[in-house]
């Protein structure tokens, strides 16, 4: 696993995004909803998503990881 540090500019933009555009909890909920829709579309063999299944698979994974960082749900007891 590689360790990357965020630039100060990126940190500022993320803080601004979560302070002005949305909150982390709402954003995590939106990510989970999009991932659910993507998964359902793939299971129903949507032709558009079948073209690039690997990319959708990777996006699904990383969006779930981000959602868990923003608002832990799967690890919550």
pLDDT tens digits, 47-77:
666 666 677 778 888 888 888 888 887 665 5
Mean predicted confidence (pLDDT) in 25-38: 86
Q: How far apart are the first and last CA of the chain?
A: 26
Q: What distance in Å separates the CA atoms of residue 29 and residue 42, rounded to the nearest whole number? A: 20
Q: What is the domain extent for residue 39?
A: 23-76
| Structural domain includes residue 11 | no
> Which pTM value belongs to this model?
0.64
How high does pLDDT run on average in the chain?
79
Report angle CA 7, 25, 4 to the nearest 5 degrees: 25
Confidence of residue 41 (pLDDT cuts 50, 70, 90): confident
Number of structural domains, the chain?
1
Share of residues in the chain with pLDDT > 70 (%)? 79
| Structural domain includes residue 16 | no
């Amino acid at each position: 696993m590689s360790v990357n540090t965020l630039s100060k500019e990126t940190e500022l933009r993320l803080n601004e995004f979560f302070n002005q555009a949305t909150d982390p909890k709402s954003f995590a909920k939106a990510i989970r909803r999009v991932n659910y829709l993507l998964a359902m579309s793939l299971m129903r063999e949507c032709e558009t998503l079948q073209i690039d299944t690997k990319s959708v698979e990777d996006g699904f994974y990383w969006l779930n990881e981000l959602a868990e960082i923003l608002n832990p749900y799967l690890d919550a007891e």
